[in-house]
Amino acid sequence: MAERKSGPVSVVTGGAGFLGSHLIDRLLFEGHRVIAIDNLITGNTANIGHLAGNEEFKFIKHNVSNFIFLPEDKLDYVFHFASPASPIDYLELPIPTLKVGALGTHNTLGLAKDKKASFILASTSECYGDPLEHPQKEDYWGMTMAYHRYHRIDTKIVRIFNTYGPRMRLRDGRVVPAFIGQALSGKSLTVFGDGSLTRSFCYVSDLIEGIFKLAMSDFHEPVNLGNPREMTIKQFADEIIRITGTTSTIEYRPLPVDDPKVRQPDITRAKKVLGWEPRVSFEEGIRHTINYFRESLRGAL
């Protein structure tokens, strides 16, 4: 890779995952050469299959919780997006999740330090828990900032709120694929509680746009990226039923313990610092996503 034409070189951990694969597409579009690293514990090579034969792209199967060695002399950006990232993953893979959050972050920060590269960390809005403030601001505050302050590494932190779109896994426990999968299969949509919990859904292309803008910026504090348009889970279920045209109904079940009652990003900082805000309408984004799952289910038959 180092012998080919000059240009930014980016590493994306979790590159075969939902967000990582979309980020790789954007980086390649922007003229970057990309090295994807993924141990495929939740990632899927089908998400990057369209990149086979692309000379500006390289895939390495590796667990970043272990030491990372890359022979490339030049690295410009390290995007750390490797982590199980769904409710089912957290239950089934608690130790790998903790390891990649701690050891994986340590190893990727070390890689960025060694190669003098910028470091971009994908953080989750789950760090806000069941929030005391609403909407949630960034200053609610780690290893990445310590590396920035002590080692003078150029670091960025993106706090990601509910994101949806093609390449999500159908059975990962998140509400978007769960509802769409149930609707397309003619099953009841499972709503926990009375449906009054709220979530904010951001389409993946909007999120990737914000991540790219943050990576190219000189800003180092955490930045929320998400869509502040808030919906109740009941409203979301009704929309999925309407758009898919399913005959499915809603089935209510007891609310799990510690499920956040509200989740809405305060994107004031993203607007001010990055000039970013979501542009894809819910109707447009959800139709793209439904079509993706419809094709996926058809292909599985």
Q: What is the mean pLDDT of residues 145-173?
A: 90
Bigger pLDDT: 90 vs 173: 173
pLDDT digits (tens, 9 = 90+) for 105-136: 999 999 999 999 999 999 865 444 444 455 54
pLDDT-based confidence at residue 143 (cuts at 50, 70, 90): confident
Given this model, what pLDDT does residue 137 score?
Answer: 55
Q: Check: CB of residue 195 under 8 Å from CB of residue 232.
A: yes
Radius of gyration from C-alpha coordinates of the chain: 19
- Cα 116 to Cα 79, 216, 248: the distances in Å are 13, 15, 53
Helix (H) or strand (E) holding 12: strand 9-13
Q: What is the mean pLDDT of residues 272-293?
A: 97
CA pair distance 283, 129, nearest whole angstrom = 28
What are the residue ranges of helices labelled H in 247-281? 268-269
Given this model, what pLDDT does residue 128 score?
Answer: 42
Q: Over 70: is that where the pLDDT of 12 sits?
A: yes
Q: Check: CB of residue 198 under 8 Å from CB of residue 263.
A: yes
Please indicate, yes or no, whether the overall pTM of this predicted structure exceeds 0.75: yes
Given this model, what pLDDT does residue 141 score?
Answer: 45
In whole numbers, what is the pLDDT of the chain averaged over residues? 89
